[in-house]
């Protein structure tokens, strides 16, 4: 059974930093593109960033470029999102998902972790 | 950054057929943009219905299908059920980065 479990969300002041983690199980993590998607309260989904299976290729939405960094540790089956210089508009539920690549165990989503940026 | 457009809301009768569309500000949507469709119900994480334009997962009900139609990606629901009432999002690829549409709120009434 594929499981994606996000953690690390919480309350942070504007300008602060936070690191999210996504623990993966049930599939060969190192073979899959991994993605972070966020959803602000009452709003739609926003694609944030994705990383290739070996970690060598990353892409970012313009809204987070230069502030967020995606990374992965294939030895720990874990995906990360380092979020710096946080703004109020970064407040959202952050989901990890193995969408956007190939493989038979693709296109699963975690349950999300809430990040609140407020003073 | 490209803008992906969806109908804000649609209504379908139980047992009826409805087509949701997904357009791109850059022109016609192509299969090379690997269109995805997701379903999200209130309080739940999204669920992937369709990938790569028209491919279904094992959990995708047979009444859902994906295609390209008139320069857009399309999600057809044939034989709507009450449990299909949800928000539907498409996702398109733009040279590595991806962009979601604003979502379509589907009411089954």
Q: Is A31 in a helix, a strand, or coil?
A: helix
Handedness of CA A50, A6, A29, A26 (dihedral sign): negative
Residue A64 Ramachandran class (φ > 0 left, ψ -120 to 50 alpha, else beta): alpha
Q: Are B102 and A44 within 8 A, CB to CB? A: yes
Choose among B45, B48, B100: nearest Cβ to A47. B100
**Tens place of pLDDT for every residue, chain B, 109 residues?**
899 999 999 999 999 999 999 999 999 999 999 999 999 999 999 999 999 999 999 999 999 999 999 999 999 999 999 999 999 999 999 998 999 999 999 999 9
Q: Are A109 and B47 within 8 A, CB to CB? A: yes
d(CA B34, CA B22): 12
Residues of B in contact with A48 (CB under 8 A): none
d(CA A51, CA A57): 6
Residues of B in contact with A107 (CB under 8 A): 36, 48, 51, 57
Residue reference for tokens 């590595």: B96
Q: Are A59 and B96 within 8 A, CB to CB? A: yes
Residues of B in contact with A37 (CB under 8 A): 46, 100
Q: Are B98 and A50 within 8 A, CB to CB? A: yes
Following DSSP, what letter does each residue of B6-45 receive, concatenated? E-SEEEE-TT-EEEEEEEETTBS--GGG--EEEEE-TTS-
pLDDT tens-digit series, residues A57-116: 999 999 999 999 999 999 999 999 999 999 999 999 999 999 988 888 899 999 999 999
d(CA A117, CA A93): 11
Phi, psi of A100 (to 5 degrees): 95, 5
Choose among B1, B36, B99: nearest Cβ to A99. B36
d(CA B17, CA B3): 27
């Amino acid at each position: 059974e594929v499981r994606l479990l996000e953690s690390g969300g919480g309350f942070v002041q504007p300008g602060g930093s936070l690191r999210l983690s996504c623990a993966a199980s049930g599939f060969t993590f190192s073979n899959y593109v991994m993605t972070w998607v966020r959803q602000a309260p009452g709003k739609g989904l926003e694609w944030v960033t994705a990383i290739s299976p070996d970690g060598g290729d990353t892409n970012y939405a313009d809204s987070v470029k230069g502030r967020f960094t995606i990374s992965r540790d294939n030895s720990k089956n874990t995906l990360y999102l380092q979020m710096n210089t946080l703004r109020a508009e970064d407040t959202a539920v952050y989901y990890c998902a193995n969408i956007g690549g190939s493989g038979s165990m693709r296109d699963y989503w975690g349950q999300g972790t809430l990040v609140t940026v407020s003073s | 950054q490209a803008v992906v457009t969806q109908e804000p809301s649609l209504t379908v009768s139980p047992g009826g057929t409805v087509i949701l569309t997904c357009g791109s500000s850059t022109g016609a949507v192509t299969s090379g943009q690997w269109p995805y469709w997701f379903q999200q119900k209130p309080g739940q994480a999204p669920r992937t219905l369709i990938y790569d334009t028209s491919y279904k997962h094992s959990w995708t009900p047979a009444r859902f299908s994906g295609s390209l139609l008139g320069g857009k990606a399309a999600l057809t629901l044939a034989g709507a059920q009450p449990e299909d009432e949800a928000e539907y999002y498409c996702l398109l690829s733009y040279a590595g980065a991806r962009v979601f549409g604003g979502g379509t709120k589907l009411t089954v009434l």
